[in-house]
Structure formats: C-alpha cells, structure tokens
C-alpha cells in the first residue's frame, strides 16, 4: 500500500447501509474515513426493510400496463401499492419517466444492468462481514414467495424466465413443499417459488450497527450530526462543513445519504429525479407464530421476516411525495391482513416503522463521479435494494476513489442519464 493511499482522507455523507459499506471499503484501501449521520447506527431506511438479500430482484418496479393501475392506487389506499392523491401533481413528472420504463425493451436492459451488480453481492459482503465478530448476521436460508392461485404464479412466469436467463435460480413449490418448509402456512397455499439465491439478515438494525462497529474499531470516526455543505477549492471538494460549524478536510467526499442526497445536487452539478417512496413495516416482538424463512406473500403485498428482535411484517409501498409525513395506518393495514391469514399472531407491544426508499424512475441506483467536483462520488437511489447492494456499491466507490477501472460497467448507473443530451 502506497504512502499516498495511506494518507487519503475521505468523508462519507450518510451512515445507512450504503454509506457504511462505502466507508468500510475506503478504509480497507487505507483511507482515514469520517462517516457523517445524525441518526444512531442502524436507525436508517434499511432498518425498516424486509431484510432480504434479493439478488434476483432485478426487474424494475415499472411493469407493462402500470399506467392503467394508477387510478386504482389513487382510489384504494389499502392496497399493496398506493398513491396519495395530494402527491400526484408534484410527482407527475416523475411518474411519466417511471411509466416510460415499462416497455419490455427497457425492462430487459434494466434487468441486465442490475444483474451485473447483484451477482457480486455475496463475495462483496463476505469481505465486510469478515470484520464482524457475529457470524450469524447474514442468514443462510432461502426466501419463499407464495401465491393465492396459479394465476398469480403464471403472472410472474415471464419475469422468472428473465431471471433464469440472467443466471438466477427459482424452484416451484406445491402445497406439500410449502407446508414442509413453513408449517405455519400448511393448508393455506398450494403455489409458491423458492429462491435459493436469496437469504435474509437476522436483524436489519443490528446488521448495520455491526458494520458500523467494525468501522469504528478499525479507526473510523462516526460524526453524529448532519453535513451542511461540501467545501470547494480550485475546482475540487476540499472538505465538508457540518451543521455545528465544524469543518472536516477531505481528499474525497462520498454522498450516500439516500433521499437526503438531494441537498447536494446543485453543488454536484446534477439534476436527478430522486424521490422517496415509503415502505411500511410492523414488528411483533413475541409473535407466537414461528417462521423459518423470509416469506413473501405476493397477492397480499407484504412479507414475513423472522428477526432476532421479532417477526417483521411489511413491504407495502406508498407514493407519498417528497418529505411526506408517515401514514402509519398503512402499517396497521398490513397487520390486519397478516392476522386474517394467521389469526393466532400476538400483536402485543407491536412497533410500526417506515423507511423512505430513495427511488429513481428506472429503479437503478446512481454510482458515479461528479463532473463538477471530480473528487466527489455519488452512491444513492438504490430503491428497495439498498441492503442488497450496499457492499457492492462500496467496492465500486472505492474503485472510483482509487481511479481504478471498476470490474462492472457503471455507465447504466450514471448520475447524468436523466439530463437532456446525455446518452449514459
């Protein structure tokens, strides 16, 4: 390792899963790293996720015919996908871009690009998790998806085929197989799919906190405040000013603050249609129903994920607009649906949570370098795959910081792909 590498100073803005993974990979390169986030370690968007390493979830959220569904989302606020009527005017430009990605050609291109990242998830996380004492953070059991009828399974056939073409696996399950894997669901479902490539973390909050602890143990500094601005000198970033007035010098700055990254767009010289989509969860500390796997209930629009802190039930999505206040009635709706399926669920001491997923209209993240401040790197917009892609994004950011050519083509993840005249 060269002296230049050892003396590099880097500031990472955003201490969620993507930010802490970027910090760890930069640290591995020999950088002195400051990680900035006002929230406690682990208390981030990924905490309130389904906890799945969804490596074959490469199909974009936009699907053919999605435009026809928008009136239903406006009318039915209890469904798995909802759109707040008040948010529609402000979100309309975003939705038009979103719908434009519902063409089969765009879905195919997006899936192929995303697969180049998700195929690297496990080796990239293995590097980081080796630094953590707890070796049970990442579970080993596959994820299951169940359907109410053959029609639901048939509707996914095209996308399952595309995933298979991209090298991912799926196994069809019948009633006996579902009951054998998950006795709590015996007699309730006769159609399902097992994803042997997927697994789930045992505790989303603990997972991020453990990675943060590893970062600090190795000499990293976590600063519990917000970044106010990026300092500039001679056409480069030279540090970060914090909300309390302190200034941190930096040779590199990484913006990995999810939806909070928007405050830096003017400085970075990008125009990015980044919005927050709310994902709601209910946590049952003592559910009195045992699950062995993370189970997606496709037609119900939610999933069950067993974690060390209880059973987490969630996944419903709400297009609410930028900076919208949470509507925890949606978490209550999830819980009511789960109890209709499993009346014996114990909901005592339940906890509701929401994560604001940072989404772009093509559901691909941004992993790129600012053209205005070339030593500022960008890592945000991972949507529902922040947890899945955290380590891989961190490795790619470290490559960019070291001026190495990344192993994966980052052209599809350019921050400039939404700007007129840019073909990225």
**Mapping DSSP to helix (H, G, I), strand (E, B) and coil, where does residue 89 land?**
helix
CA neighbor of 19 nearest in space, from 208, 301, 243? 208
- Cα distances (Å, whole numbers) of residue 111 to 59, 299, 372: 5, 23, 30
Closest CA to 20 of 129, 151, 180: 129
Residue 73: pLDDT over 80 = no
| pLDDT over threshold 90, residue 324 | no
Top-confidence range, 237-246, 277-286, 355-364: 237-246
% helix, strand, coil for the chain, step of 5: 35, 25, 40
Q: Which two tokens stand for residue 19?
A: 């930010």
What pLDDT is attached to residue 167? 97
- Taking a C-beta distance cutoff of 8 angstroms, is the pair 35, 253 a contact? no
Residue (of 43, 383, 57) closest to 204 by Cα position: 43
Strands (DSSP E) along 84-198, which ranges? 143-147, 171-174, 191-195
Tell me which CATH code domain 66-114+128-201+274-359 carries.
Answer: 3.30.9.10
What's the whole-number mean pLDDT along residues 395-399? 98
Q: Which fold has domain 3-46+206-273+363-413?
A: FAD/NAD(P)-binding domain (3.50.50)
Identify the CA nearest to 227 among candidates 35, 397, 10, 9. Answer: 35
Residue 71 dihedral angles phi and psi, to the nearest 5°: -55, -35
**212 to 24, 355, 372: CA distances (angstroms):** 8, 19, 30
Torsion of CA 362, 366, 370, 374, to 10 degrees: -150
Banded pLDDT at 421 (limits 50, 70, 90): low
> Once rounded to an integer, what is the mean pLDDT over residues 321-336?
83
Compute the mean pLDDT over every residue in the chain, rounded to the nearest whole number. 91
Min mean pLDDT across 19-28, 237-246, 274-283 is at 274-283
Mean pLDDT of 243-249: 95
pLDDT reading at 325 higher than 90: no
The larger pLDDT score, comparing residue 319 to residue 335, is at 335
**What is residue 321's predicted lDDT score, i.e. its pLDDT?**
72
Output the DSSP codes for 257-311: -GGGGGGGHHHHT-----EEEEEEEEEESS-SS--SS-EEETTTTEEEEEETTEE
The pLDDT of residue 330 is 86
Map residue 102 onto helix, strand or coil.
coil
- Residue 419 is predicted with a pLDDT of 85
Residues of the chain with CATH 3.50.50.60: 3-46+206-273+363-413
**Residues forming a β-bridge with 297:** 146, 302
Q: What is the mean pLDDT of residues 322-340?
A: 86
Q: Answer yes or no: is pLDDT of 74 > 70.
A: no
User: pLDDT confidence of 422, banded at 50, 70, 90?
Assistant: low
Strand pairing category for 32-36 and 9-13? parallel
Q: DSSP code of 63?
A: -
Q: 3-class SS at 120?
A: coil
Higher local confidence (pLDDT), 45 or 108? 108
Q: Which tokens hold the place of 170? A: 């799926």
Task: Specify the domain boundaries for CATH 3.30.9.10 within the chain.
Answer: 66-114+128-201+274-359
Task: Please spell the DSSP secondary structure of 186-255, one letter per residue.
Answer: TTT-SEEEEETT-EEBS-HHHHHHHHHHHHHHTT-EEE-S-EEEEEEETTEEEEEEETTS-EEE-SEEEE
As a whole number of angstroms, the distance between CA 94 and CA 79 comes to 21
Q: Quick one: tokens of 418? A: 């939404």
Percent of the chain with pLDDT over 70: 93
Q: Which helix (H) or strand (E) holds 26?
A: helix 17-28
Mind listing the pLDDT tens digit for each residue in 78-134?
677 778 888 888 888 998 898 899 888 999 999 999 999 999 999 999 999 999 999
pTM of this prediction?
Answer: 0.94
Helices (H) and strands (E) in the chain, counts: 13, 20
pLDDT at residue 67 is higher than 70: no
User: Given strand 252-255, what is the order of strands in its sheet?
Assistant: 221-223, 32-36, 9-13, 252-255, 376-380, 366-369
The CB density around residue 162, as the number of other CB atoms within 10 Å, is 19
Q: Of 6, 62, 46, 26, whose CA–CA distance to 396 is shortest?
A: 26
pLDDT at 392 over 90: yes
Q: Which of 354, 296, 248, 44 minimizes the C-alpha distance to 152?
A: 296
Q: Which of 3-17, 307-321, 328-342 has the lowest mean pLDDT?
A: 3-17
Statement: residue 76 has pLDDT above 80 = no
CA separation (Å) from 36 to 18, 48, 134? 12, 20, 24
* Percent residues over pLDDT 90 in the chain: 72
């Amino acid at each position: 390792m060269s002296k230049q590498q050892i003396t590099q100073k880097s500031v990472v803005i955003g201490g969620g899963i993507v930010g802490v993974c970027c910090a760890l990979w930069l640290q591995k390169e020999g950088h002195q790293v400051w990680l900035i986030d006002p929230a406690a370690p682990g208390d981030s968007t990924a905490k309130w996720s389904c906890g799945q390493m969804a490596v074959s979830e490469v199909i974009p959220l936009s699907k053919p015919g999605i435009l026809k569904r928008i009136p239903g989302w406006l009318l039915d606020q209890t469904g798995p996908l909802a759109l707040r009527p008040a948010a529609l005017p402000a979100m309309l430009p975003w939705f038009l871009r979103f719908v434009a990605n519902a063409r089969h050609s765009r879905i195919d291109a997006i899936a192929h690009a995303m697969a180049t990242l998700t195929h690297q998830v496990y080796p990239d996380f293995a590097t980081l998790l080796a630094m953590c004492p707890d070796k049970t953070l990442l579970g080993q059991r596959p994820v299951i998806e169940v359907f109410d009828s053959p029609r639901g399974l048939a509707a996914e056939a095209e996308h399952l085929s595309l995933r298979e073409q991209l090298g991912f696996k799926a196994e069809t399950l019948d009633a006996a197989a579902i009951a054998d894997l998950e006795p709590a669901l015996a007699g309730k479902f006769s159609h399902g799919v097992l994803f042997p490539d997927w697994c789930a973390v045992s505790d989303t909050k603990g997972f991020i906190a453990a990675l943060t602890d590893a970062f600090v143990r190795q000499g990293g500094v976590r600063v519990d405040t917000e970044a106010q601005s990026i300092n500039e000198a001679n056409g480069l970033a030279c540090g970060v000013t914090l909300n309390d007035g302190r200034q941190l010098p930096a040779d590199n700055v990484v913006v990995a603050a999810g939806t909070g990254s928007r405050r830096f767009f003017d400085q970075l010289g990008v125009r990015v249609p980044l919005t927050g989509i709310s994902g709601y969860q209910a946590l049952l500390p003592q559910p009195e129903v045992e699950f062995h796997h993370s189970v997606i209930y496709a037609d119900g629009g939610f999933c069950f994920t067993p974690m060390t802190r209880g059973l987490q039930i969630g996944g419903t999505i709400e297009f609410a607009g930028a900076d919208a206040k949470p509507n925890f009635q949606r978490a209550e709706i999830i819980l009511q649906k789960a109890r209709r399926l499993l009346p014996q669920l114990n909901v005592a001491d339940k906890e509701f949570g929401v994560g604001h997923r940072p989404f772009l209209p093509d559901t691909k993240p941004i992993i790129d370098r600012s053209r205005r401040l070339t030593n500022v790197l960008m890592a945000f917009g991972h949507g529902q795959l922040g947890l899945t892609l955290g380590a891989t994004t961190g490795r790619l950011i470290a490559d960019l910081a070291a001026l190495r050519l990344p192993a994966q083509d980052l052209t599809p993840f350019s921050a400039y792909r939404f700007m007129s005249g840019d073909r990225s």
